[in-house]
Amino acid sequence: MAKGFTLWFTGLSGSGKSTLAERLRDTLLERGMKVEVLDGDIVRQNLSKGLGFSKEDRDTNIRRIGFVCHLLTRNDVVVIGAAISPYKAIRDENRKLIGRFVEVYCKCDIETLKGRDPKGLYEKALRGEIKNFTGVSDPYEAPENPEVIVDTASEDADASVNKILLTLEQLGYIPADDGRGYSEEEEEGIKERLRDLGYI
């Protein structure tokens, strides 16, 4: 049975993609899965080094990430992609290539993002120091039918992580944490054994 899939986070800068990607990575590693994260910021330092932020370069970057996700997914690895990936057409290309693809839209309003501005980029973009900044001077095409929407302006990270995990369980990509106790018969058997052993 295929175990690999791609969990693709898309959303504006500062919307929580990397944070949630790391949390999901740790949780799925704990559950014994092979997991890798392809984070846009890190990928741009190696795999996509030298690429800029023109549409053409952005498309190339996302296609490269998608290509690696595809290779890992077919080898039973859970891959978490976390990049702005602003263009719907390229995201859909990756979905078609990879197949086992779960899109998570990190939705967050621009005012909240400007307030957060974790890397100081919105401030620079608004001053015109950074050109082609998604959400300010470059477009972002929100997904129309993502598998999960997490509104990171209103949900805390725990709630978002749990929503994503539940969706993955419901879609059959990860086994559900059944949390089962003993059946009545099993419980009686165990109690009898514990009595025999003197524990109760």
Partner 1 sequence: MKRLVVIGLDCLTPQWALEAWLEDMPNLKRLAEGGVAGRLRSTIPPITVPAWTAMMTSQDPGMLGVYGFRNRSSYEYDSLQVANASAIKARTVWNYLSRNRLKSLVMGIPQTYPPKPLNGIMVSGFMTPSKEATFTYPEGVQELLDQAAGGEYVIDVKDFRTEDKAALLESVKKMTAARFRAFRALLRTDDFDFAMMVEMGPDRLHHGFWRFCDPTHRLYEEGNPFADVLHDYYVELDEEIGKTAEAAGDGASLMVVSDHGAKAMEGAICINEWLQEAGYLKLKERPAERTRLTADMIDWPNTKAWGEGGYYGRLFLNVSGREPDGCIPPGAYESVRDEVKAGLEALGDEEGKSIGTRIFRPEEVYREINNIPPDLIVYFGDLDWRSAGSVGVGSVHLRENDTGPDDANHLPDGVFVWDPGAAMRELLRRQERYQIYDVAPSILKFFGVGVPDDMIGQPII
Q: How far is the CB of 78 from partner 1 (least distance, A)?
A: 12
Closest to partner 1 by CB, 118 or 175: 175
Q: Choose the catalytic residue: 48, 85, 160, 183.
A: 85
Q: How far is the CB of 76 from partner 1 (least distance, A)?
A: 13
Q: How far is the CB of 160 from partner 1 (least distance, A)?
A: 18
Closest to partner 1 by CB, 89 or 200: 200
Nearest Cα residue to 10 out of 75, 76, 61: 61
Closest to partner 1 by CB, 32 or 50: 32
Round to whole Å and give the CA distance between 143 and 98: 17
Round to whole Å and give the CA distance between 5 and 101: 6
Q: How far is the CB of 37 from partner 1 (least distance, A)?
A: 12
Closest to partner 1 by CB, 35 or 82: 35
Q: List the structure tokens of 131.
A: 């050109």
List, in sequence order, every residue forming a beta bridge with 109; answer none if it has no partner.
Answer: none
Round to whole Å and give the CA distance between 42 and 27: 21
Round to whole Å and give the CA distance between 165 and 25: 11
Contacts with partner 1 by CB under 8 A lie at 26, 29-33, 175, 177-182, 186-187, 189-191, 193-200
Local structure of 52: helix, strand or coil: coil
Q: Is 48 a catalytic residue?
A: no
181 CB-near residues (< 8 Å, 6+ apart): 187
Round to whole Å and give the CA distance between 124 and 193: 69
* Count of C-beta atoms within a 10 Å radius of residue 99: 13
Give the residue numbers marked as catalytic: 85
